[in-house]
Structures are given as C-alpha cells and as structure tokens.
Structure 1
Amino acid sequence: METKSKNPMAGTLPEGNNSNNNRKLLVVGLIIVLLTINGILFYMQHQKTQQVEEKEEVIRVKNSELENQIKVYEALKADFERQSQELQALGVANDSLETRIASINADLLKLQSFRNSSFSLKDQRLFKARAANLENQLKQKDAEIAKLKADNEILNGENTQLKTASTQLSDTLKVLKSTNTSLTEKVALASRLEAENIQINIINKRGKEKEDDEAEFRAKKVEKIKVSFNLAKNEVAQKEAKEVLMRLIEPDGAAVYNLATGSGTFMLDGQETYFTAKRDIVFDNTQQNVSFVYAKGAAYKRGAHTVELYADGVLIGKSNFTLK
C-alpha cells in the first residue's frame, strides 16, 4: 500500500493573502480619512481666511471713508477761514462764521476719534449730511462776499474820484496858503521898523552929556549911557503900540541885565534872550525920535560895547562905542 506525504503550509496560503488585503484596505481607508480630514481642514481654513479678508476689506473701506470725511471737513474749515479773512479785509465782522468754524473743529475732533473706534453707517450718513449742508452755506456765503466785493469796488471807484477831487482842492489850498504865507512874510518884512540916525552919548556923574565923534569915552567917567534914534518912515507898518527893546552888550559878549533897572527876557530866533531896557511907544510914522537913558549902577567895563535895538522880536538897528 503506497503512502502520500502532506505539505503543512498548503492549507494556510489563503489566510495570509486575506490578511495582506485587509491591511491594504485599512491603509487605504486611513489615507482616505486623512485626506478627507485635510480637505475639511483646508476648506475651513479657506473659509476663515476669506472671512478675515472680508473683515479687513470692511475695515479698509470704513477707514477710507473716515479719512475722506476728515479731508472734506478740513477743506470746509479752510474755506470758511478764507471767507472770514475776506470779510475782515472788507471791514465786515461776521460772528456766525466764527461759530461755524468752531463747530467744524468740534466735528473734526469727533471724526478723528473714530480712528480708534467704530465708524458706523449711521455716523457716515450723519457727517455726510452735515458736510453737504456746510457746502451749501459755503456757496451762499461766497456769493454774498462776491457781491460785497463788487459793491466795494464801486464805492472805491467813487472814493477815488472824491480823493482826486479832494487832492486837487488840497493842492489848490496849499498853493493859496503858500501864496498867502509868502505875502504875509513880505508884508511882515516890509512892515518891520527901522532905527536910523543912532546916536550914543555918555552922561557923566555931574549929569553933563558928552558927545564924541569917534564914540570913544572914558569908562570911569560914565554914569549913564544915552541911546537915541529915529524910527524910519514905513507906510506898510501899522500905527499902533510898539515895544522897543535895547540890549547893551559888554566887551565879554554878555548883555547888561538888571531886573531892578527894567531888564528882562524876550524870544529871539526861538531862544530866550536877555534885554537891558525897554520903551513902550506908539508908532505914528512921523520919523519920531526914541531914546534910552540907562544907568548901570556899577562901573562900566573898558572895551568895545554894542547896542542892539529890537521891535516885534526882530533887530531894527545896531551901533558900537568904546570905553577907554
């Protein structure tokens, strides 16, 4: 009887193949699951990114709208300030403009505060409406200013004509005044009194008057000085009271001055000047004689002396004498 041998592995081969197939299926399943999860995660991430971008776009639009509104209000402020300056140049005060500028400043501060907070659609509509209203007010005020400028130009034209006429009249008055001043000066010059035939004598201590052709006298013998002269005829000078002053100037250049003997001061060329003696007369245009007899009350100095005569503040005569 023939005996057959058996392979122990022959019966297990199908089980090994099934196990490998199962593992492959498991791996494939896991890969599919992972891919699905990754796909879901990718989709979710994409959705999230899209939402973020949409939010950023909303923020960008909001910020752009906000900055545009700020620029609009800054431009409005500049225009209202320009109007205020133009009105001031025209000499017109307008408190309403200053109030409006203050209101715009407040709106600008509010708009700038939205940079750190939400600038809602309601806010946008509100500020747009207010800006539109301000622009209308701006146009109306520009029209008013234009009319004021036109009216002002007409007034300036009329004023220029008046100024021209006034200038011409002023020039005419200046010419007349200059002519009148010139005539007045000529009359004043012509009406000045003039001392002529001036004679200087001395009176000694015995009361005797001495005349010297050379006008030289001994100082120690002089008690008084006598100055006499005639007032020349002058048809222009008015016949009226006059004040004639005499200055006796000693060799050192100083005028003899003594309040006790009637000396005083008068204005000469804008300066206060001392005079020695004074006579009040009435000019009658008869070549009247006028004289001064002056006693110094002290010893006279040796040397050249000068006698000056004044009337109406001007020099009318001058002479010299010497004391030995």
Structure 2
Amino acid sequence: MSTNTSENRGNRKLLIVGFIVILTSINGILLYMNYQKKEKNEEQAEIIKVKDVELENQIKVYEALKADFERQSQELQAMGLENDSLESQIAAITSDLEKLRGFRNSSYSLADQRKFRERAQVFEKQLIEKDREIAKLKEDNEVLFTENTSLKTTQNQLSDSLTTMKSTNQDLTEKVKLASRLEARNVSVNIINQRGKEKDDNDNEYRAKTVDKIKISFTLGQNDVAAKEPKTIYMRLIEPDGAALYNLATGSGTFQIDGEDMYYTAKRDIVFDNTQQQVSYVYDKNAAYKKGQHTIELYVDGFLIGRTTFVLK
C-alpha cells in the first residue's frame, strides 16, 4: 500500500514537471512568434514610412515645377506673348499633383515612384529649355527697348532745340504725331462657325446663325517715324443699331479719344516693329449676332487706323 502511494506521488510529480515543461515550451514558442510578428510589423512600418517620405518629396518636386512654369507663363504674358504650351504643361503637372496627393490614402508602389520621377525629369528639361527661350526673348526686347530709347532721345533733343519757336514747335509736334500714326491695311473679317471652321467671303456677307466667332486680320503699314514700342490696338464692333458692342465679360472697356471716353469691344497688345507685321485675333461675343451691317473700327494712340464692314443676313 505504501509502495503504491509513493509510486503515484512520483508519477504525479513527473506529470506536473512534464506539464510545466510543455507550458514553458509553448510560452517560448508564443514569445518567439510574437517577436517575429513585431519585427515584421516594424519592418512594414519602416517601409511605409520610407514610401511616405518619398511621396511627400515627390509632391514638393511637382509643386516647385508648377510654380516655375507659372512664373514662366507670367513672364511671357508680361511680354505680350501667347503661352498655350505652358498652360498645357501646367495643367498636366496639376493633374499629376492631384494623383500624387491621392496616394496619401492609398498604396504608393515602386512602379508609381519610378513613373512620377521620370515624368518630373521630363518636365525639368522642358523648364530649362523654356527658360533659355525666355532669356533670349528678354535679350531681344532689351535691344528693342534700347533702340526705342535712342529714338525718344533724338525726339527730345529735337524738341529742346525748338523751344524758342513755340508756335512752330507746336505745329511740328502735331505733324510728328500725325506722321507717326499707324495704318491698318487690308482689314478683313472672316467668320468661324460652331464647328471651328473659318469662312472667307469676298463680299463680307455671312449668315448670322452660322457665326460663332469673328476673326479680324490686317497688316500694319510701314512707318519710319513711329516708335518701335508696345502698342494697344482697340477694336470697336459697331452693330446695325449704331452702338458699339460692349461686354466686360468678353474684355470690353473704355479708352480716350480727344480727351473723351469711348467704348471699345476688345483690345490687343502688340510690339510695333515696323516690319509690316500681320496682326489677327479672334473675338467671341458669346451670344447670337444681330442681322444687318456691322462695322469694325481699329484705334491706336487715339487715332482711327482702319475700318471695314461686313453683313450678317
């Protein structure tokens, strides 16, 4: 009886020890698995952090590119030049920026990183090329400005030499002003229909309902007296009722003729270079045109420089 009890106690101890060993082993395995999982989570967190940094850096690159292209656009506008290509590039960069910012709430893969990095490199090359073009344009404008300054200096010297002859000087000044008046030659009007097609009629007669926009074209005659400088051409579109078309939303305003305000329909800024340059621009009334005879009048420096008519039936 005593022997059996001792054996039972011994077996119980063995079972307890074995159970403890098993529990210890399980705990060790669980601890190891948790450690592995923690390491994996930390690794994934580090990868995400690196991607987030890369994403934010890429966003900053695109924001800087957009700012530079907008700066170029403003520089060209200041020189009175068209900048459609820059507007397209700004729109493309803006679209890419929206996509990049959208990755803040989604996966930003290595393929995405490579794609946007390569696109940024292309934009940077275009930016450098455009800066070179603008620098050349500024240099040309500087030459033009110097020539203009020289001409103005000559005119001032002539004016100073005639100050003792007031009446003669006033008469001469008026003659110079008249002589420097620009002339718009071969003024023509073509219509552009709703499909964007341009139509030219030798009789200047068109069907009113087909007109979406009008295109005014002319040549500035040679004038060696007129200064080579920026000029503003004011266009008045006089409708059949005799009133000039006026709409602030489409660029209308007022200018002065003989000290009095006059309404204009649209205006165009150019740099007169005395090369018999061709000038044209499109006007969009953004409304239906009236039937009857319309008159186009062109003004520069307070002078009427050209006129033509066309009929809408």
> Are 2:59 and 1:70 equivalent residues in the alignment?
yes
What is the identity, as a one-letter code, of the residue corresponding to 1:137? Q
Give the match for residue 47 of structure 2: 58
Pair 1:27-2:16 in alignment: yes
1:157–1:85 CA distance, 2 compared to 1 (3 A) = same
Supply the distance in 1 between the matched residues of 2:161 and 2:76 (Cα, whole angstroms): 37
Match of 2:146 in 1: 157
Q: Are 2:65 and 2:123, in contact at CA under 8 Å, matched by a contact in 1?
A: yes
Is 1:103 matched up with 2:129? no
Give the counterpart of 1:127 among 110, 113, 116. 116
Q: What is the letter of the counterpart of residue 45 of structure 1? A: N
Match of 2:26 in 1: 37
Check conservation: 2:58, 2:117, Cα contact below 8 A. Answer: yes
Aligned to 1:305: none
CA distance in structure 1 between the partners assigned to 2:99 and 2:14 by the alignment: 67
Separation in 1 of the partners of 2:160 and 2:39?
A: 87
Shift of 1:86: 1.4
Match of 2:106 in 1: 117
Q: Distance in 2 between matches of 1:27 and 1:175?
A: 129
| Amino-acid identity (%) | 62
The one-letter code of the counterpart of 1:159 is N
Q: Which amino acid aligns with 2:57?
A: N
Q: CA–CA distance in 2 between the matches of 1:65 and 1:170?
A: 66
Matches within 5 A, 1:1-324: 12-178=1-167
Once the two structures are superposed, what CA deviation does each residue of 1:279-299 show, in whole Å capped at 9, x if it has no partner? xxxxxxxxxxxxxxxxxxxxx
How far residue 173 of structure 1 moved from its aligned partner, in angstroms, is 4.1
Q: Which moved more, 1:35-44 or 1:153-162?
A: 153-162
Highest Rg: 1 or 2?
1
AA of the residue aligned to 2:98 = L
Question: Residues 55 and 108 of structure 2 are in contact (CA less than 8 Å); yes or no, is this contact kept in structure 1?
Answer: yes
Q: SS in structure 2 opposite 1:92?
A: coil
Separation in 2 of the partners of 1:160 and 1:131?
A: 42
Give 1:100 shift. 0.8
Distance 1:70 1:136 in 2: 18
Q: Distance in 2 between matches of 1:61 and 1:158?
A: 57
> Normalised by the size of structure 2, how large is the TM-score?
0.51
Separation of aligned partners in 2, 1:179 and 1:109: 67
Q: 2:179 corresponds to which residue?
A: none
User: How far apart are residue 80 of structure 1 and its match?
Assistant: 0.4
TM-score, normalised via structure 1 length: 0.49
Deviations 1:67-113 (A, max 9, x none): 11111110000000111111222232221111111111111111111
The two structures, once aligned, show a CA RMSD in angstroms of: 2.0
Counterpart of 2:165 in 1: which secondary structure? Answer: helix
Which residue in 1 is equivalent to 2:258? Answer: none
Output the CA distance in 2 between the equivalents of 1:156 and 1:61: 53
Moved more, 110-119 or 125-134: 110-119
Aligned twin of 2:301: none
Task: Extract structure 1 runs of 4+ deviating beyond 6 A.
Answer: none
Amino acid at match of 1:161: S
Measure, in 1, the Cα distance between the counterparts of 2:69 and 2:87: 8
Q: Contact 2:69 / 2:86 at 8 angstroms: preserved in 1?
A: yes
